[in-house]
């Protein structure tokens, strides 16, 4: 297409099917109607801007405040609570109505506050765009806002620039771009302007393309814009984020199902009680009030409050464990995770290139220490050595330090030192290794100031620098010849080992002398290089030469002849030290970890094997192999794949979907822009707080403030504790409420046969409505909330994750509920039967009321653990439970012994004889609960 073509002749939107990387620069310019020496005219750029729109990401439709409120109120349990509050007001039970409405309002407010923070991911994506861009308009270089770029614009890139749009490079001079946020690759990518002939090349392999949102770390370049806004790779991620629908968490699904089941059961039983009372010729209004009171007492109005408060307490505990929860429901979801999909760079690894091995003259030394802190040891055969005993090692590191454009910078904050690299992280890792050997770059550069250089070139695969030997005596070790020659200069060369080796005819020996380099010596160097690369190390060769001529008399050909091969330096982004034990702990908890990275397969495999993530017999799968699988094949094979390498954002989405199709509860960790769609699609997304992009953080459900994988496992433990506490409350609530229902239902249906004397006195129910509501207050209130503060069973991380479809009330809990319902119902009705022989009907109601209240309060203690006996966890170890039960007991005693309160609640003061009667009765349910635990524990040990 000629350069003067207008926007009208271009497609309505950038053609996403065009494989720009596979075209030549000339073909790209023709298709886009642009010229490398002129760019677009001002008028043409304006037309294209109007046609294609601004170069920015569009926001999805936001959820309004009203929609968030309605969503919080749409729960079945909440709807029942609202209905119960309305009926309570109608019946004059204002206090109970206010309590119920307060619970609903607090639950709604907390939910809205949390959800309102979940709409920011696209706003964070927009921040990734560079504010200004240097472009060629009408043959003039001008600075324009990045949002005004259009396809066909010629854009200039410099070190430190954000790439403002997707660009096909037309010129690249030593250009390196950090694409970790997009592809996950741990080192900056070397770029060139040549064509990539593989039309299916992954993003990381498109060396002639610069992507929006990435950062230029070195060199300069020029390219033509091929995609802007939502059509860039960054925009495709934003589109995927918008298309991912929010899903209910497993906890939300289970609680909603439980609430509906309980609600319907309560309504049916309440209706039966009302009908039975009418048949028994009870007063219709009285029976209606009993039925409604029973429904209110049985409906789990405390459930939303306890869940919310338990999750809030869990969130506070998470912060102590370096995990910031953005959504309360995420606490429990993480606890049910079966698979953790983890990015490699910055998550499993330190996100800091580190020299771990140096080879010189058939000697290999390992270097310890991680990150950019210049602290570590040199080891040989596992034993720490004195680096001064190996002067040739220092020579290799000195060469790499002099031939280096990066800087190691120390910052001190709150008395603590931290280090960072300014420049290329690969070069920076050599500075750190040299510092560990006692050589600091500023001192070396002062003793050997740079006099000239030939920058790194991707074709030459090496960098050459020239240094004056000015003050070698200031160094502890001076490895270079000619140190007493005032006209001497050091030529330092760093690059690909095979290329550097081809320029050498001598080799540095361990005592810093030089020897001729024969074929045997070359083969030894190449073998050492192969061994390092097999361990996924990135290897650079070091060489030098001392010349006695002035810099202006040295040409490039002369500088790169007769070099002395100094050694090999191998670096890698190493695994975090705490990752391996954390992985083992996760495995013990039945949680599998899968590595998903954009890095190369060999690198990913080496890291995975070193930390024990890659299990024997399991596979490493590349993005190209994944493309050949359909969804069904991927779902069947995903369980056998532990490492996915060289993958794109679309691949990550497919992997998460395949795992979820196998009923896995998936946690997706990551830090880059490329992770955001999969983070959102997973059951729970976990972002890195330090190295993570704003996009990942705002999309995630949980953010790790220390970027520590061990914190994920700690969060899993806390998530399990929270879910266990919610189960304890449900167990306690259901067993008590079912007993209350049966205590009303049985006498109403069969009272004339079971309690003839009470029936003759017109007593159809052991409890009147206000007593039921009081039970609801003192037993479903503070003691239930106190269960949410339990610390969890000691073996909570020794169990496999819960099956995703397992209901909250499983077989074990159902057995316990049945036992407790029978025990509480039987003892309460026994007390009622004994009291019915008394002339005053209030005597029977008092015995039943006190027996039921204290049975449920003591039952709260046994509910603190489903499997561990109370004696083992400690009777008084939960201080909140102690205060809650004490307060409830005190309030109940006030009702019994304060005259006007006793009249309101229709009870009589109790003497010692009555207490002797009811104490053994209300102890029975707790004893029964402990017996059930003992039986279950015995079966578990036998099994």
Which has the minimum average pLDDT: 320-324, 541-545, 862-866, 911-915?
A: 320-324
Closest CA to 484 of 548, 407, 415: 548
Among the three residues 204, 228, 243, which one is the final residue of a domain in this structure?
243
pLDDT at res. 128: 41
Instruction: Please give the pLDDT value at position 246.
Output: 52
Q: Token digits for 783?
A: 């003691």
649, 564: one domain: no
279 and 412 inside one domain: no
Per-residue model confidence (pLDDT) at position 305:
61
| Shared domain check, 384 and 499 | yes
Q: Which of 243, 270, 292 is the last residue of a domain?
A: 243
Give the per-residue pLDDT at 835: 85
CATH number reported for the structural domain that contains residue 203 in this entry: 2.70.150.10
Q: What percent of the chain shows pLDDT beyond 70?
A: 78
- DSSP at 247: -
Residue 465 lies in a domain: yes
DSSP reduced 3-state for 515: strand
The CATH number linked to 662 is: 3.40.50.1000
C-beta of residue 55 within 8 angstroms of C-beta of residue 165 = yes
Closest CA to 767 of 745, 744, 742: 744
The answer as to whether 80 is a domain residue is no
Please report how many Cα atoms fall inside a 13 Å half-sphere around the Cα of residue 438, on the Cβ side. 14
Band (56; pLDDT cuts 50, 70, 90): confident
pLDDT for the residue numbered 93: 63
Same-domain pairing of 564 and 472:
yes
| Predicted pLDDT of residue 928 | 92
pLDDT at position 121: 37
Does a structural domain hold residue 85?
Answer: no
User: Rounded to whole angstroms, what are the CA distances from 369 to 354, 406, 436, 930?
Assistant: 8, 20, 9, 52
> What pLDDT, on the 0 to 100 scale, is given for residue 130?
43
Domain contains 74: no
Residue 2 covered by a domain: no
* pLDDT at res. 3: 47
| DSSP class per residue in 301-348 | THHHHHHHHHHHHHHHHHHHTTEEESSTTHHHHHHT-SEEEE-IIIII
CA distance 281 to 92: 24
Out of 413-417, 493-497, 788-792, 913-917, least confident range: 413-417
The token duo for 743 is 């205590």
> What would the pLDDT profile of 24-40 be if each residue is shown by its tens digit?
888 889 888 898 888 89
pLDDT greater at residue 329 or residue 371: 371
Query: What is the residue range of 406's domain?
Result: 358-572
The stretch 776-799 carries a mean pLDDT of: 80
Q: Please check the confidence at residue 145 and state whether its pLDDT lies above 50.
A: yes
Q: How many domains does the chain have?
A: 4
170 beta partners: none
Q: What average pLDDT does the segment 346-375 reach?
A: 88
- Nearest-Å Rg of the Cα atoms of the chain is 37
- Same domain? 535 vs 596: no
Higher pLDDT, 168 or 111: 168
Rounded Cα gap, residues 650 and 577, in angstroms: 31
Give mean pLDDT, residues 346-358: 85
Same-domain pairing of 724 and 669: no
CATH number of residue 511's parent domain: 3.40.1110.10
Reported as type and span, the H/E element at residue 610 is: helix 601-611
**pLDDT tier for residue 535 given thresholds of 50, 70 and 90:** confident
Lowest mean pLDDT among 12-16, 203-207, 412-416: 12-16
pLDDT tens-digit series, residues 309-336 = 676 677 777 777 878 877 666 766 777 8
Pair 782, 894 in one domain = yes
Same domain, 545 and 408: yes
Is residue 902 classed exposed, middle or buried when 0-12, 13-18 and 19+ CB atoms within 10 A define those classes? Answer: middle
For 224-253, the pLDDT digits (tens) are 999 888 888 877 776 765 555 555 555 656
Mean pLDDT across 850-879: 89
Task: Round to whole Å and give the CA distance between 585 and 579.
Answer: 10
Residue 78 in any domain: the answer is no
Rounded distance between C-alpha atoms, residue 587 and residue 600, angstroms: 25
Give the residue numbers marked as catalytic.
343
Give me the chain's average pLDDT, please: 80
pLDDT of 943 > 50? The answer is no
Q: Which residues pair with 666 in a beta bridge?
A: 339
Whether residues 142 and 23 share a domain: the answer is yes
Digit-coded pLDDT (tens) for 687-710: 877 766 666 776 788 888 777 777
pLDDT of residue 268: 80
What's the confidence (pLDDT) of residue 81? 61
Res. 646 pLDDT band, cuts 50 70 90: confident
> Which has more pLDDT, 60 or 304?
304
In a domain, 117, yes or no: no
Residues 562 and 639 in one domain: no
Q: Does residue 258 or residue 851 have the better pLDDT?
A: 851
- Picking from 545, 572, 599, the residue at the C-terminal end of a domain is 572
Given this model, what pLDDT does residue 74 score? 67
CATH of the domain at 759: 1.20.1110.10
Confidence of residue 897 (pLDDT cuts 50, 70, 90): very high
Question: What is the spatial distance between Cα 585 and Cα 303, in angstroms, rounded to a whole number?
Answer: 32
Query: Contact at 8 Å (CB) between 488 and 469?
Result: yes
**What is the DSSP pairing of strand 592-596 with strand 641-645?**
parallel
**Residue % of the chain over a pLDDT of 90:** 22
Q: Residue 61, SS3? A: coil
Instruction: Give CA–CA dist 137/64, Å, rounded.
Output: 42
Buried b (16+ CB within 10 A) or exposed e, 729-740: bbbbbbbbbbbb
Q: Are residues 50 and 161 in the same domain?
A: yes
The answer on 135 and 22 residing in a single domain is yes
In the structure, what pLDDT confidence band is assigned to residue 764 with cuts at 50, 70 and 90? Answer: low
Structure tokens at 85: 């509050």
**57 or 896, higher pLDDT:** 896
pTM above 0.75? Answer: no
Asked whether residue 888 is domain-assigned, the answer is: yes
């Amino acid at each position: 297409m000629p350069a003067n073509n207008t926007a009208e002749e271009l497609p309505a939107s950038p053609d996403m099917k065009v494989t720009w990387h596979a075209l030549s620069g000339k073909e790209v310019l023709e298709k886009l109607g642009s010229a490398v020496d002129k760019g677009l005219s001002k008028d043409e750029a304006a037309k294209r801007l109007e046609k294609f729109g601004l170069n920015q990401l569009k926001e999805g439709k936001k959820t309004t405040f009203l929609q968030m409120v309605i969503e919080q109120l749409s729960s079945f349990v909440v709807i029942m609570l609202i209905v119960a509050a309305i009926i309570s007001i109608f019946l004059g039970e204002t206090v109970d109505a206010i309590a119920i409405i307060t619970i609903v309002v607090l639950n709604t407010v907390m939910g809205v506050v949390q959800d309102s923070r979940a709409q920011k991911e696209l706003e964070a994506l927009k921040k990734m765009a560079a504010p200004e861009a240097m472009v060629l308009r009408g043959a003039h270089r001008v600075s324009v806002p990045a949002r005004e770029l259009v396809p066909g614009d010629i854009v200039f890139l410099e070190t430190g620039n954000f790439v403002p749009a997707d660009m096909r490079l037309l010129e690249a001079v030593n250009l390196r771009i950090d694409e970790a946020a997009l592809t996950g690759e741990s080192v900056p990518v070397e770029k060139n302007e040549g064509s990539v002939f593989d039309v299916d090349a992954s993003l990381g392999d498109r060396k002639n393309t610069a992507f929006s949102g990435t950062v230029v770390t070195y060199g300069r370049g020029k390219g033509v814009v091929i995609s802007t806004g939502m059509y860039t790779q960054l925009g495709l991620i934003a589109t995927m984020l918008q298309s991912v629908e929010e899903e209910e968490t497993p906890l939300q699904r289970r609680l909603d199902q439980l609430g509906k089941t309980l609600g319907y059961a309560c309504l049916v039983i309440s209706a039966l009680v009302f009908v039975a009372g009418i048949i028994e010729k009870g007063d219709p209004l009285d029976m209606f009030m009993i039925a409604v009171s029973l429904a209110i007492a049985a409906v789990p109005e405390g459930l939303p409050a306890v869940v919310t408060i338990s999750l809030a307490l869990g969130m506070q505990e998470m912060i102590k464990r370096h995990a910031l929860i953005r959504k309360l429901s995420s606490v429990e979801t993480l606890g049910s995770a079966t698979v953790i999909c983890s990015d490699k760079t910055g998550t499993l690894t330190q996100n800091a290139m580190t020299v771990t091995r140096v080879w010189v003259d058939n000697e290999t030394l390992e270097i310890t220490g991680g990150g950019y802190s210049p602290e570590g040891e040199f080891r040989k055969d596992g034993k720490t050595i004195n680096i001064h005993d190996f002067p040739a090692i220092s020579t290799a590191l000195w060469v790499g330090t002099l031939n280096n454009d990066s800087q190691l910078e120390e910052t001190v904050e709150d008395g603590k030192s931290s280090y960072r690299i300014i420049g290329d992280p690969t070069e920076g890792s050599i500075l750190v290794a040299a510092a560990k050997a006692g050589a600091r770059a500023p001192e070396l550069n002062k003793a050997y100031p740079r006099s000239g250089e030939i920058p790194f070139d991707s074709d030459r695969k090496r960098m050459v620098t020239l240094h004056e030997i000015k003050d070698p005596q200031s160094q502890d070790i001076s490895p270079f010849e000619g140190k007493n020659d005032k006209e001497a200069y050091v030529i330092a060369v760093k690059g690909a080992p095979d290329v550097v080796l081809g320029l050498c005819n001598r080799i540095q020996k361990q005592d810093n002398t030089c020897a001729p380099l024969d074929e045997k010596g070359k083969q030894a160097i190449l073998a050492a290089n192969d061994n390092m690369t097999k361990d996924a190390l990135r290897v650079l060769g070091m060489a030098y030469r001392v010349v006695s001529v002035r810099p202006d008399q040295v040409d490039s050909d002369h500088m790169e002849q007769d070099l002395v091969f100094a050694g090999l330096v191998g670096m890698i982004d190493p695994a975090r030290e705490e990752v391996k034990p954390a992985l083992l702990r996760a495995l013990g908890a039945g949680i599998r970890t899968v590595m998903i990275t954009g890095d190369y397969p060999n690198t990913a495999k080496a890291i995975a094997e070193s930390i024990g993530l890659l299990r024997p017999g399991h596979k490493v799968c590349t993005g190209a192999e994944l493309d050949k699988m359909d969804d069904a094949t991927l779902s069947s094979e995903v369980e056998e794949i532990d490492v996915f390498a060289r993958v794109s954002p679309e691949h990550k989405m497919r992997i998460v979907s395949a795992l979820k199709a196998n009923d896995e509860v998936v946690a997706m960790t990551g830090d880059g822009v490329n992770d955001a769609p999969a983070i959102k699609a997973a059951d729970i997304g976990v972002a890195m707080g330090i190295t993570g992009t704003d996009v990942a953080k705002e999309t995630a459900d949980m953010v790790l403030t220390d970027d520590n994988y061990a914190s994920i496992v700690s969060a899993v433990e806390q998530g399990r504790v929270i879910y266990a506490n919610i189960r304890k409350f449900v167990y306690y609530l259901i067993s008590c409420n079912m007993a209350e229902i049966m205590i009303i239902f049985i006498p109403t249906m069969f009272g004339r046969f079971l309690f003839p004397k009470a029936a003759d006195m017109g007593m159809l129910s052991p409890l009147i409505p206000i007593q039921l509501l009081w039970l609801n207050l003192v037993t479903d209130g503070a003691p239930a909330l106190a269960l949410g503060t339990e610390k969890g069973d000691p073996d909570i991380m020794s169990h496999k994750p819960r099956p995703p479809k397992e209901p909250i009330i499983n077989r074990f809990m159902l057995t316990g509920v049945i036992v407790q319902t029978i025990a509480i119902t039987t003892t309460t009705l026994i007390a009622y039967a004994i009291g019915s022989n008394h002339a005053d009907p209030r005597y029977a109601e008092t015995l039943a009321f006190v027996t039921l209240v204290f049975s449920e309060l003591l039952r709260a203690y046994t509910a603190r653990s489903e499997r561990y006996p109370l004696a083992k966890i400690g009777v008084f170890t939960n201080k909140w439970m102690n205060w809650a039960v004490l307060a409830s007991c005190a309030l109940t005693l006030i009702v019994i012994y304060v005259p006007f309160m006793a009249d309101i609640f229709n009870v009589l003061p109790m003497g010692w004889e009555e207490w002797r009667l009811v104490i053994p009765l209300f102890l029975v349910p707790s004893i029964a609960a402990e017996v059930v635990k003992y039986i279950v524990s015995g079966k578990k040990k036998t099994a």
